[in-house]
Structure 1
Amino acid sequence: MIDALYEAGWADASVAFDVDTGGEGWATFHREAPSGLQAVVSAIRQGRKAGVEPLGVTEDYVSLTEIAERTNRTLSAVDHWATGRRGPGDFPAPRVPRPRVSLYSWAEVTMWLVANGLAAMSPADIEIARICEVADAMLRARRLQNRLDEADREALNLAVA
Structure 2
Amino acid sequence: MTTWNFRINLNREPTDAETDALFEAGLDDGAVAGGPGGGVYLMCDREAKTLLDAIESVLIDLRKIEGLWAIGVGQGDGVTLGDASRRHGGRTQASLRQLAAGQRGPGGFPEPVIEADNISIYSWAEISEWLRTRMGDDIPPVNRDIALADAAVKLACRARAAHQEERIRHLIDVA
Secondary structure (helix, strand or coil) at the match of 2:34 reads strand
What do the CA deviations read for 1:41-64 (whole angstroms, capped 9, x no partner)?
354234212223435547322232
Distance in 2 (CA, whole Å) between partners of 1:6 and 1:137 is: 26
Note if contact 1:55-1:143 (Cα within 8 Å) is conserved in structure 2: no
Q: Is 1:54 matched with 2:70?
A: yes
TM-score when normalising by structure 2: 0.56
Q: Which residue of 95, 98, 102 maps to 1:80? A: 98
Partner Cα distance (1:57, 1:38) in 2: 13
- Equivalent residue, structure 2, for 1:132: 146
Over 3 Å counting, the alpha-carbon distance change for 1:66 and 1:149 in structure 2 is closer
Q: Residue 52 of structure 2 contacts residue 149 of structure 2 at CA under 8 Å; is this kept in 1?
A: no
The answer for the alignment partner of 2:87 in structure 1 is 70
Gap change, CA 1:68 and 1:39, over 3 Å in 2: farther
Q: Structure 1 residues 81, 97: CA separation in 2 closer, same or farther (over 3 Å shift)? A: farther
Q: Given residue 54 of structure 1, which amino acid in structure 2 is its aligned partner?
A: A
Matches of 1:148 and 1:12, distance apart in 2 = 27
In 2: Cα distance, 1:12 partner to 1:56 partner = 14
In structure 2, the partner of 1:21 is: none
- Structure having the higher strand fraction is 2
* 8 A contact 2:156–2:165 mirrored in 1: no
For the pair 1:91 / 2:109, whether they are aligned, the reply is yes
Alpha-carbon distance, 1:134 to partner: 2.0
TM-score by length of 1: 0.59
Secondary structure of 1:90's counterpart equals: coil
Could you say if the C-alpha distance between residues 43 and 135 of structure 1 is closer, same or farther in structure 2, counting changes exceeding 3 Å? same
Q: CA deviation at 1:86?
A: 0.9
CA shift in 2, pair 1:142/1:62, >3 Å: closer
> Counterpart of 2:9?
none
How far apart are residue 142 of structure 1 and its match?
Answer: 9.7
Structure 2 stretches of 5 or more lacking a match?
Answer: 1-13
Instruction: For residue 119 of structure 1, report the CA deviation from its aligned partner.
Output: 2.1
In 2, distance between residues paired with 1:82 and 1:126? Answer: 19
Deviations 1:39-92 (A, max 9, x none): 633542342122234355473222322322332323122121122211222322
**Which structure shows the bigger proportion of residues in helix conformation?**
1
Q: Contact 1:94–1:103 (CA<8 Å) still a contact in 2?
A: yes
